[in-house]
Amino acid sequence: VVANSAWAGHCFAQSYWLFDSASWLGLGQLILEGLFVGVLAYIEAMVLLVANSGKFRAGS
C-alpha cells in the first residue's frame, strides 16, 4: 500500500514538474500511471482492512 501510494505521488509530482517541457503523450502516461497505481493502493488497503477487521475468517 505504501509503495503504490508513494509511486502514485511520484507520478503526479513528475507530471507537475515536467508540465512545461513534456509532451502531452508523456504527461498522459504519467497521469494515467499515477491513477492506476493509486487505485491499486486503494483496493489493496480495502482488502487489508477487511481481512484485518475480523469479519473475514479463513475457512468459514
pLDDT digit string, tens, across residues 18-56: 999 999 999 999 999 999 999 999 999 999 887 777 665
Q: Is a pLDDT exceeding 70 seen at residue 60?
A: no
What is the per-residue pLDDT for 27?
96
Is residue 17 pLDDT above 80, yes or no? Answer: yes
Give the model's pLDDT for residue 55: 66
AA identity, residue 45: A
Q: How much of the chain is in helix, strand and coil states, percent to nearest 5?
A: 75, 0, 25
Single-letter residue type at 36: F
CA pair distance 54, 11, nearest whole angstrom: 34
pLDDT score, position 52? 76
Q: What is the pLDDT of residue 58?
A: 58
Check the CA dihedral 10-16-17-21 and report its sign: positive
